[in-house]
Chains A and B, each alone.
Chain A
Amino acid sequence: MKFAHLLAASTLAVMAAGGVHAKTLVYCSEGSPEGFDAAATTAGTTMDAAAGTILNGLVQFEPGTTNVQPALAESWEVNEDGTEYTFKLRPGVKFHTTDYFTPTRDVTADDVIFSFDRQGNADSPWINYLPGISYEYYNSMEMPALVKEIQKVDDLTVKFVLTRAEAPFLANLAMPFASIISKEYADQLEADGNLSALNSQPIGTGPYQFVAYQPDAVIRYQANPDYWNGAQAIDDLVFAITPDPAVRRQRLEAGECHVMPYPAPADIEALKGNDTLQVMEQAGLNVAYLAYNTTIAPFDNPEVRRALNMAMNKEALVEAVFQGTGVVAKNPIPPTMWSYNDAVEDNPYDPEGAKEILAAEGVDGLTMEVWAMPVQRPYMPNARRTAELIQADFAEVGVNVNIVSYEWGEYLKRSTDPTRTGAVILGWTGDNGDPDNFLAVLLGCAATGDGGANRAQWCNEDFDKLIQDAKVTTDVAERTRLYEEAQVVFKDQNPWATLAHSTVYMPMSAKVQGYVMNPLGRHSFEGVDLAE
């Protein structure tokens, strides 16, 4: 018995050595995903593990850009007033065949309707198929109010009827929450009473299909042999979950993985100096800011906010905190985004001028709080250090700063309180490449109040009208004009001190070919190859 076992083992080993060598790409990912339902998450880690790897949407972002291009929908038409979107589906797209599911039909309009309906229909068993599940993106993109109806025109044609024109709609459909999943598979799970498998044993149409997941350790995928957009050069894709950035770096350098995200800023120079590696970089679609509470004196006075912004030496701040991995921000949207208004002039660094304005506004001996986040985020490597530099700058103009910090969950909670005193350091990474996703989400009147993302509690009629008009206009030139103007209003009113846009780095083995950085911060391995 033992001998037979040994024999089998050695035969296997010989076969493995002599057989065709499978190409495996190992990605040292930063954390464990919650599962593989891209609609049920706000976590980038989960979106990476599910969307783009296993799943596809009707449309997708063209690699490396935020332009929308066809995916499961070959083409689409929008009616005159922008309230009806008719999508033509790509014929012959297959869902994954795995040991737990064998599809009997290709992707149809039914799958599209199901994929959205399950997130919004309170009568669907899928609305709470996991304990505590919430479809946060579906809700925060206002889909329940926006989508009046999704009609099946025929098997390969599906029509979205909207309650009003919504310019960012198409970009929203390229986001992970709008991924298309199999209705047939969902029905099978329902019949088996095994709904939670939708999250743990996913089925999609993407370039890779799911094999196994061991939380906190490893996710395994294999190439989808029937992928509609062509077979992948990589046979096996492995996510090696490695939360510590220093350890990720060691694994990359030791060749245990081929690609790693989120390197520590201090390691970047050394990684660039390593000949066996390549380090890609790209301006992040993000902004770091200091939000005053514009409803509380003296910060309700735009001149006081201007003076404080003028007291801030942002060049020095970005240099010290980002160490060359970021640029000074003057607008609330990043320079890589369309409608960025480069004509806007930032507040000059002018402590003397700042003192004069403060004196003219009768502000004397001001003591304020600056809140520093306790965590590192892609847009802000070190909030504490940032706060200290702001403290020193403000002291120059006679403003006394107390730095406060709370545990992250508490920080997020307290920072939305409308009665909050003090200015909060925070930031944002774009979801869909649309300016609306920054300007309306972070600075619109609707986002003020307890729990809202408008941490400045800033509600400016002129600004709000501009962004509201831009949201319902489908003409991109007109939208651009409106957003450019909104940025002028923003700078005139200074609800924030805009601090920086960070640079995002992706170190990888020099053998990796065809990897394209995603401006929205997603990580996708479609079309990637490994040189032998």
Chain B
Amino acid sequence: MSKGRVWKYGDDVNTDVIYAGKYTYQQLEPAEMAKKSLEDLDPSFAAAVKPGDVIVAGKNFGCGSSREQAAACLRYAGVQAVVAKSFSRIYFRNAINLGLAVLQALDAPDALRSGDEIEIDFEGGRILSAGREFKFPPLPESVLDIVRAGGLLEWTKKKLARP
């Protein structure tokens, strides 16, 4: 179980507002990237986010660019998971590859509010908040393999080491 606070946003949160295009090719360090998180969506976020916090959003989170810093910056900011009704395809892959938990839960986003305290039971597929419980489906086995390895690079290293 892992506790955190909710930062709640709407539908179609795109990669430009998560990590602006003007920073994409600047090769920033992780701490600097964390400070750019959600700059054009919620300027208060980067300064106030705490390790373990959770982003909760509507449908199509991460739509737009393939820039994977949009997943990395949130992980560097300490976000433990993004809970959304659905994720854009490339964002979903990038997040998995970089070790940012992306949880698809249909009912939690409407019920949760900014500032809510929540706990996530990753193994059991449960989100708990103020006595309420929301389910999320476990990731597909082939994808879980990458997560278990600690991200795609580690997974690839293991694959290359196999005879």
Partners in one complex: no
Interface residues of A (CB under 8 A from B): none
Interface residues of B (CB under 8 A from A): none
